[in-house]
Amino acid sequence: DAGVTQSPTHLIKTRGQHVTLRCSPISGHKSVSWYQQVLGQGPQFIFQYYEKEERGRGNFPDRFSARQFPNYSSELNVNALLLGDSALYLCASSLSGGPAETQYFGPGTRLLVL
């Protein structure tokens, strides 16, 4: 079975631009979470979605938004990019997003903002 997939794998943008990152969860998983991992740090929680509804968001500005589609895939959008948005963006999926469930991660999208 396919794991979590993310696209694109790498992306280079300039300040002020916007970006859309995509994620497809493991088949049968209905919850998707997004994390940002800056170099040398652990992943930081951005959003969690379940059944197309936002369940929660981390401490990120409104420039960050996301949505989940009927097929449970998800998009993360970042507007007005800043240099500090350069990071590895990780998507994770789980069955229903509960605390006891293991979140399985995709390979990530490496975003570089120049």
Partner 1 sequence: AQKVTQAQTEISVVEKEDVTLDCVYETRDTTYYLFWYKQPPSGELVFLIRRNSFDEQNEISGRYSWNFQKSTSSFNFTITASQVVDSAVYFCALSEAQGNSGGSNYKLTFGKGTLLTVNP
Binding site for partner 1 (CB under 8 A): 33, 35, 40-45, 48, 50, 55-58, 88, 90, 92, 97-108, 110
**Nearer residue to partner 1 within complex by CB, 44 or 73:** 44
Q: Minimum Å distance from CB 50 to partner 1?
A: 8
**Nearer residue to partner 1 within complex by CB, 81 or 94:** 94
Residue 80 has phi, psi (to 5 degrees) of: 45, 60
Do strands 44-50 and 104-105 pair parallel, antiparallel, or not at all (unpaired)?
unpaired
**Nearer residue to partner 1 within complex by CB, 16 or 56:** 56
Q: Minimum Å distance from CB 44 to partner 1?
A: 8
Q: Minimum Å distance from CB 14 to partner 1?
A: 23
Are the C-beta atoms of 77 and 65 separated by less than 8 Å? yes
**Nearer residue to partner 1 within complex by CB, 15 or 96:** 96
Q: Minimum Å distance from CB 69 to partner 1?
A: 19
